[in-house]
Each structure stands twice: as structure tokens, then as C-alpha cells.
Amino acid sequence: MSSMRVLVAGGGIGGLCVAQGLKKAGIDCEVYEAAPGLVQGGYRLHMNVLGGDALRDCLPDGLYELYLQTSRRTPRREVSVMVDAQANEIWARPHVGPPNDSPRPHTAVNRRTLRQILATGLDDQLHFGRSAVGFETDDDGVTLLLDDGSRVRGDVVIGADGIHSRIRRQLLPDVREVDTGMRGMWSIAPLTDELAAQLPDVFYDGFVIVNLGDGTILALGVYDPRRPVAEAVAELAPGAHIDDVAPYVMVTYGNDMGAAPGDDLPDFAHDSPAVLHDALRRAARGGHPGLVALVDGVDESTIAPSAVRHLEVADPWAPSRVTLLGDAIHAMPPTFGAGANSALRDAAALTKALQDVVSDGRDLLEAIGDYERQMREEVFPIMRASADPDAVHADTLPEEARR
């Protein structure tokens, strides 16, 4: 290990990816995660070249191959599609990101599976149930403050602790969280042979938005891994703690961004899964038979309410020994499926910056400053575009989101 010690606040996708990258680079790294373990949080994640290439850079070869094999089968069209309730196509647009045309393109993953892959091999570095609450810096280093009163000394602190980041609130206290007004729910329906036979072909495209015509939308995404997860794990990471996952369709429902919940769309936050499932059924009533069957097949135990928030775009700030990645600095609505990919992009870029400090003797603050500047240039335009209330309905990507 090098003489540099990096402390990561947050064990989400971005925090785990940067830890893998730093470990691969021979840099000492410790991750402090508030949750007691890798809890479920959401289901299917769209992947693009930015996120997929970051995983290639940061993961050992075997774990990267495991990511590819447990990704969704390549769909007939890797695009975002809007349809009406009868599954008639309204428009289709490419996903955000560079061309994605390799023999095994980046498609989609199960979120928990990806986190478990990213956690593999980090056992001694990953500390659950320990939440970062702040930091103290001086000329010689930085101290991470934890909720149990303990203090950990290092050279760099990375705030990867999500939209409610305590690290960001101390570093950039003027950045506000914004409530989009979007309220709804997440769920999954097992992709049984019977259900698969009823779904229209368009539902198997990259990602599908169903415009119900009443100010609400359903968003659908298939997860059907290229290889059974347990089989791939047994070959590529034997002994790793990675759950088996059967094929499913992610089903989300809610109102459009920018409109506050009204009497016709309850907040959902305090409703039971059965009540939420009834709301889903009402939303799909009269739609394509495959849509009705999909909603009927939702597993009620997977239903969870959602409220979409994002961060304001931060003004440039002076680099220091404390930096940020992912949702801690650019939490965005899921409009373009770019949030997780941007966090992974950050992880790979920050790993490279810190590796340059260790291997090439580059000035630490200069390297961190360049990482932050490039992040603002590359990610903030997507962040701005994703917060446009009309973006979800547009049939072309806004200029600032194109790459």
C-alpha cells in the first residue's frame, strides 16, 4: 500500500467503486457506511458506457466480467421509448452517453447485485453501521468524524454519502436540495414465462415510459441477466456473498416532475403495499392487456413509495483534502438514467487523480481540483437537463445532455 490514506463516507455504488479502484491502484482506503449492511434500495439500474467503462477501470478483471455476465441481456433496441397506455410508440430516443455498440454492450443491472459485486474483496475496508457526520482539516491531513464519537485520520476524505450528505453540507453549505414534486412508488413483477408471453415487444426495449395521459407515468425496465446470477458467481467469484436474482420487470408509477401531488395522486408515503398495488391497478386499467397483466403480477412485498429530489447545481469551489462524488454533489432526477453512471464515472476519475499523486508526485490539491473541474464540465450539464420538467416527454435529448 502507498503512504496515502483515503477515507470514504458512504458505501453506495460510487463509494464502493472508488474503494475498488483505489485498492487496485495500491492506495489505502477505508469505507464508512451508515447502514448495517447492503440494504435494498431500488431495483434495476440502466448502465451506459460512462458507468460501464468506470467499472472496467476500477474492478479486478473477474469482478468486471461478473458485472457483464449478470447484466441484462442485450435488448433489440438500447433506447428510451415512450408509449401510450395501449403500447403504441410515441417516440424513441438514444440513451445519454457515448456510443454503446460493443459485442456485449452495457445494458442494465440489478442494483443490489452490482453493490454486492462492488463490495466483494473489501471486507476489511468496509465498515457498516458507522456514519460520517463531519470532518476537520489541517495542513497535514484530514480527520473524519463518525457518529459514535470516534475520529479517523487520513489524507483525503471522499463524500460519497448521497443526496443528504453530511460531508457536502459542511463543505458546501449553500447547496440546497430541491423537491421535484414527483411522488410515486417502485416495485417489481417476476418475469414468468406466462407474463413474458403477454408483454408487447416494445416493453423489451431499453427503457419504457408509459404516458397514461392524465399527468402520470409508468416506467418499465426488464432485468433478464445474460447468465443466471448464481451460476456466474460460482464460476467467477466463488464464495462471494451475492444473492441469486430471477428475471423481473421493474415497474414504477408516479406523477410528472414539477407538479405537486394532488387529491387524485396521494403522497403514497404512508400507504400499505396493498393500497399502493390497488393504485397501480387503477392506473393501468383499460390499458394494453400486457400492461394490465404486468401490474397485476407485481410482488406486493417489493412495493415502496418514492419522492424524487435533486440538488441545485453548485457554484465552483476551491479544492481541498475533502471532495465529493455521485449523489453527494450531483443528485439528479432519473430522467436520463444517468445518476449511477455519473457516480461511477466520478469514482474512476477520482481514482486516476489520486493515483497520479502517488505514482507521479502530482500536487494533491491540483489533482483534486482538476477532478472537480472536469466533473462540473461533464456531469453538471446532464444534471441541469435532467431537472427540466419537460425532459421526460421530449423525443430528443437536450443539447446539454448529449455527449
Contact 180, 310 (CB under 8 A): yes
- Residue-wise pLDDT for 168-187, tens only, equals 999 999 999 999 888 999 99
Given this model, what pLDDT does residue 372 score? 98
**Across residues 31-41, what is the average pLDDT?**
88
Decide if pLDDT at 43 tops 80: yes
Given this model, what pLDDT does residue 260 score? 54
Decide if pLDDT at 358 tops 70: yes
Per domain, the residue ranges of the chain are 5-76+98-178+310-401, 180-309
Domain 180-309 has CATH 3.40.50: no
Question: What's the rounded Cα separation, in Å, for the pair 394 and 75?
Answer: 22
Decide if pLDDT at 308 tops 60: yes
Q: What are the C-alpha distances in Å from 207 to residues 76, 102, 252, 303?
A: 11, 19, 12, 19
**Across residues 322-331, what is the average pLDDT?**
98
Given this model, what pLDDT does residue 270 score? 85
Given this model, what pLDDT does residue 266 score? 58
Longest dimension (CA), the chain: 66
Contact 243, 229 (CB under 8 A): yes
Cα Rg for the chain, rounded, in angstroms?
A: 21
Residue 57 backbone class (left: φ over 0; alpha: ψ -120 to 50; beta: rest) = alpha
Given this model, what pLDDT does residue 400 score? 67
Given this model, what pLDDT does residue 403 score? 60
Given this model, what pLDDT does residue 264 score? 54
Contacting residues for 315 by C-beta, under 8 A, at least 6 apart: 174
Decide if pLDDT at 38 tops 90: no
392 pLDDT band, cuts 50/70/90, is confident
Decide if pLDDT at 256 tops 90: no
Question: What's the rounded Cα separation, in Å, for the pair 126 and 134?
Answer: 18
Question: What's the rounded Cα separation, in Å, for the pair 104 and 285?
Answer: 37
- Residue-wise pLDDT for 207-244, tens only, equals 999 999 998 999 999 999 999 999 999 999 999 999 99
Query: Which has the minimum average pLDDT: 170-174, 231-235, 292-296, 391-395?
Result: 391-395
Neighbours of 359 (CB within 10 A): 12
Question: What's the rounded Cα separation, in Å, for the pair 370 and 384?
Answer: 21
- Residue-wise pLDDT for 80-137, tens only, equals 999 999 999 999 999 998 999 999 999 999 999 999 999 999 999 999 999 999 999 9
Assign domain 5-76+98-178+310-401 to its CATH architecture: 3-Layer(bba) Sandwich (3.50)
**Across residues 251-266, what is the average pLDDT?**
69
395 pLDDT band, cuts 50/70/90, is confident
Given this model, what pLDDT does residue 393 score? 85
Decide if pLDDT at 3 tops 90: no
Sheet holding 151-154, edge to edge: 132-138, 141-146, 151-154
Decide if pLDDT at 254 tops 60: yes
Decide if pLDDT at 15 tops 70: yes
Given this model, what pLDDT does residue 1 score? 54
Given this model, what pLDDT does residue 252 score? 96
Three cell numbers, residue 256: 410528472
Dihedral sign computed on CA atoms, order 188, 190, 193, 198? negative
Decide if pLDDT at 334 tops 60: yes
